[in-house]
Amino acid sequence: MKIIIVGGVAGGASCAARLRRLDEKAEILMVERGPYVSYANCGLPYHVGGVIEREASLLVANEQTFRAQFAIDVRTGCEAIEISPTKKTVQLRDVASGEVTTHSYDKLVLSPGAASVRPPLPGIDLPGIFHVRTVPDAREIREWVERGSAFLAGLHRYSGFQTVRPKPRAVVIGGGFIGLEMVENLVHCGFEVTLVEMLDQVLPVIDPEHARVVEAHLKRHGVRLALNDGVAGFKQAANGAIDVETKSGKTYPADVVILALGVRPDTTLAKMAGLEIGERGGIRVDEQMRTSGPDIFAVGDAVEVKDFVTGQWSLIPLAGPANRQGRIAADVIAGRDSRFRGTQGTSIVGLFGAAIAWTGVSEKVLNRIGDTDYEKIYLYPNAHAGYYPGAKPIAMKVIFRKSDGRLLGAQALGEDGVDKRISVLAAMLQMGATIYDLEEAELCYAPQFGSAKDPVNFAGMVAADVLRSDMPLSHWNGAKTGFLLDVREPMELAVEKVPEALNIPLGQLRGRLAELPRDREIHVICRSGQRAYYATRILLQNGFNAKTISGGMLSLAHNYLFETNEEGG
């Protein structure tokens, strides 16, 4: 059997290697139009920032490795330019010589990835404007940055009396995860960075109240945010810099500009071959990665996937799914019955010592599709036991089905333990777990690593309390019409207070019940929700209509940040 694989990075390379492990006799040809196969594009921002110093570290395997270890014919600088599904042939063009040859296949796998979005804006081709997709892209940025630095350093020496070296300026356009990784790395390189984002939040996949915390974190690290503002064009400034002009009429001068506007599935070949393209613009495949064309498979960023939670078609360009899909396509070609389960979009971004991670569906998406059968909780558990030095809180939002408790999604941010919790929740979500399963999850614990009630258990317990009606829940936006009861200590109120709330510290509550209305819904506040829950239990058992405000003052802080941001502060 002869298999041709188009694209030699995440999906293509994992498909090729798996195929060989399953079929020693198969003839496998993998073509890649770029100069490298199997490279770590996820590491590119860190190579630009100098964290990964050597370019060679990004090259996981090369043509020789594939030949020697897997007996796979790998050709770099070789582009597939046309497919004939009826004749079962592919035309390959040697990029250097232009020579075109025709090759027949029994099975064809497309893993061409996605192309960076590059809108036709005035000045977009000016030198100094880059995107980050390949190793050569990263090399070009590094060279440009180094040249720029040398130029600025030269100025510094020339002036003789100048003591403050001017800071180079960077503008990153697009606040998705690649944009944020570039922001962090450029700050590390000494740049003054402005992030321009058309939407009103960074990381559009997470909910706005968590994005607000990320934005505050960016500002604390000196990043200037220009949200709600799209780029209108670029102009060459007289001093060699680039003026980035936005739709609101602002101008941001930059020594380097990074375009991180997202990616579009590369469907050029698939369209030419008449393969079905889905409603989101990716190649349409079934659970076994089969396209509409006979004996043609497609994997990775180029395909549409079913969202695991909503069941809707979506585009989720991530390395994990691309690798798994490559492996599944290989399994199916080798005669096995493997199936792709869909994608949850599980992701993580590191940012100035903190991490933001998420899995499953966001509240925004549920609202967009009109799904109201959900509840959400906010919680702020420590990443490890509070008594062990260095405990840091994790801000968590967990979303679950009201009707049956099924876990739907989670978002977390903090400086420690975020990856572990979201990875556990992601695995459980994929297994169809409910919040009652989270209560019972048995996770490793010693004080430096977690708590006897791990944040995952804690989330399950809080959510289960809500569904068992032990803790009727409210949120700040719904609490405005009710009676507000604050059960914190007076000392805490000196720091931050809700003016409309009656303060009765938890320890005094049983003796002061007469001060509370029996004909109104009482919304109970504390710092994080825990004491409010204890108070809610007291009130419910004394015949009051009480609800705990989820996340207490800490979740209100999200809202405060929100308001600050809207005012441009």
Ligand X SMILES: Cc1cc2nc3c(=O)[nH]c(=O)nc-3n(C[C@H](O)[C@H](O)[C@H](O)COP(=O)(O)OP(=O)(O)OC[C@H]3O[C@@H](n4cnc5c(N)ncnc54)[C@H](O)[C@@H]3O)c2cc1C
Q: What residues act catalytically? A: 526
List the end-to-end C-alpha distance of the chain, in Å, as a whole number.
63
- Degrees to nearest 5, angle at CA 177 with 449 and 435: 45
Site string for ligand X, 49-78 (x = CB under 6 A): ------------------------------
201 is an interface residue for ligand X by CB under 6 A: no
Window of 228-236, 315-323, 407-415, 492-500 that interacts with ligand X by CB under 6 A = 315-323
Evaluate whether 121 touches 115 at the Cβ level (below 8 Å): no
Long-range CB contacts for residues 434-439, cutoff 8 Å, separation at least 24: 434/400, 434/401, 434/404, 434/405, 434/406, 434/407, 435/398, 435/400, 435/405, 435/407, 435/459, 435/460, 435/463, 435/464, 435/467, 436/405, 436/460, 436/464, 437/407, 438/407, 438/463, 439/464
Distances (CA, A) of 26 to 16, 105, 106, 297, 404: 10, 11, 10, 16, 48
Strand spans (E) along 122-277: 129-131, 169-173, 192-196, 224-226, 231-236, 242-246, 251-254, 256-259, 263-265
Distances (CA, A) of 322 to 103, 274, 298, 301, 524: 25, 23, 10, 7, 46
Q: Which of 19, 45, 208, 523 binds ligand X (CB under 6 A)?
A: 45
322 is an interface residue for ligand X by CB under 6 A: yes
Length of the chain equals 569
Four-CA torsion 155, 159, 160, 164, nearest 10 degrees: -70
320 is an interface residue for ligand X by CB under 6 A: yes
Q: How crowded is residue 24: how many other Cβ atoms within 10 Å of its Cβ?
A: 7
Question: Looking at beta carbons only, is 115 or 506 nearer to ligand X?
Answer: 115
Copy the structure tokens of residue 48.
């630009």
Percent composition of the chain: helix, strand, coil (DSSP 3-state, to 5):
35, 25, 40
33 is an interface residue for ligand X by CB under 6 A: yes
Question: Looking at beta carbons only, is 167 or 271 nearer to ligand X?
Answer: 271
The least distance separating ligand X from the CB of residue 383, rounded to whole angstroms, comes to 21
Minimal CB distance to ligand X: which residue?
300
The least distance separating ligand X from the CB of residue 48, rounded to whole angstroms, comes to 9
The least distance separating ligand X from the CB of residue 260, rounded to whole angstroms, comes to 8
Q: Which of 44, 289, 424, 463 binds ligand X (CB under 6 A)?
A: 44
The contacts of residue 370 (CB under 8 Å, 6+ apart) are none
Copy the structure tokens of residue 385.
């036991």
Region 345-384 residues binding ligand X, contact defined as CB under 6 A: none
Site string for ligand X, 123-152 (x = CB under 6 A): ---------xx-------------------
113 is an interface residue for ligand X by CB under 6 A: yes
Distance CA(69)–CA(63), nearest Å, equals 10
532 is an interface residue for ligand X by CB under 6 A: no
5 is an interface residue for ligand X by CB under 6 A: no
Residue 107's H or E segment, with its range, is: strand 107-110
Q: Total residues at the site for ligand X (CB under 6 A)? A: 32
Region 535-564 residues binding ligand X, contact defined as CB under 6 A: none
Region 76-95 residues binding ligand X, contact defined as CB under 6 A: 79-80
Q: Which of 282, 317, 360, 552 binds ligand X (CB under 6 A)?
A: 317
Window of 36-44, 168-176, 196-204, 467-475 that interacts with ligand X by CB under 6 A = 36-44
304 is an interface residue for ligand X by CB under 6 A: no
- Degrees to nearest 5, angle at CA 73 with 67 and 75: 110
Q: Which of 3, 5, 10, 28 binds ligand X (CB under 6 A)?
A: 10
Per DSSP, 166 falls in state: P
Question: Looking at beta carbons only, is 184 or 245 nearer to ligand X?
Answer: 184
Distance CA(314)–CA(291), nearest Å, equals 16
Q: For residue 15, report the phi and psi dihedrals to the nearest 5 degrees.
A: -65, -45
Evaluate whether 184 touches 49 at the Cβ level (below 8 Å): yes
Question: Looking at beta carbons only, is 260 or 461 nearer to ligand X?
Answer: 260
180 is an interface residue for ligand X by CB under 6 A: no
Q: Which of 5, 17, 20, 32 binds ligand X (CB under 6 A)?
A: 32
The least distance separating ligand X from the CB of residue 497, rounded to whole angstroms, comes to 42
Region 216-275 residues binding ligand X, contact defined as CB under 6 A: 266, 269
Question: Looking at beta carbons only, is 128 or 179 nearer to ligand X?
Answer: 179
Question: Looking at beta carbons only, is 194 or 325 nearer to ligand X?
Answer: 325
48 is an interface residue for ligand X by CB under 6 A: no
Site string for ligand X, 398-427 (x = CB under 6 A): ------------------------------
| Among candidate residues 447, 341, 397, the one with its CA nearest the CA of residue 555 | 397
- For ligand X, the binding residues (CB under 6 A) are 6-7, 9-12, 31-34, 41-42, 44-45, 79-80, 111-113, 132-133, 178, 266, 269, 300-302, 317-320, 322
